[in-house]
Amino acid sequence: LQLRERLHHQSVRDQLTGLFNRRYMEESLERELLRAERHSLDLGIIMLDIDHFKKVNDTHGHDIGDRVLESLGAMLPNLIRGEDIACRYGGEEFILIMPGASIEDTMRRAEEIRRLIRTRISVPLPDGGDLHITASSGVAVHPTHGAGADGIVKAADDALYRSKRGGRDRVTLAEG
């Protein structure tokens, strides 16, 4: 039974961050979209990306980059509600699925997470300094910003890229 539980944990969790992995995110998003439609509820999505992460790896090495990802993975579950789902989407991108969250609630949470990442994540560097990071986010809410899993993720991704183009360390709401 312990082996089965460990294998299940490994199949749905990202090894580095401890957050749910992309496969679990895709399954959960489909399930939560069906529930939202059935009960006429909103479903908030926050797509978050660590700013200048490639530069972190290039400048400080992948060990420091891994510590940044681990730090964010440890922080995110403490910043969301129990019913929310925090996932590593890939690389330095994360998705938060927020069942029943309105546009206002999702934007407020995204902004709070952005602020806390900026002020609380500090990774010690070998030279004695500390690395501080920022993150950009895109917010989309079903059904306002997209239909189906692909539509809502694309809307959040487009908003994320508008945050990046707009100067980073910001939250942008999807168009529509």
Give catalytic residues, as residue numbers: 92
> How far is residue 121 from each of residues 4, 8, 67, 152, measured CA to CA in Å?
34, 30, 10, 28
Residue 85 corresponds to which tokens in the numbers above? 């789902």
Report d(CA 80, CA 143) in Å as an integer: 21
Tokens of 48: 């978050």
Q: What is the DSSP letter of 130?
A: E
* Sheet of 43-50, strands arranged across: 85-90, 93-99, 43-50, 135-142, 171-173
Give me the amino acid identity at 130.
Answer: D
Please give the single-letter amino acid code of residue 54.
Answer: K
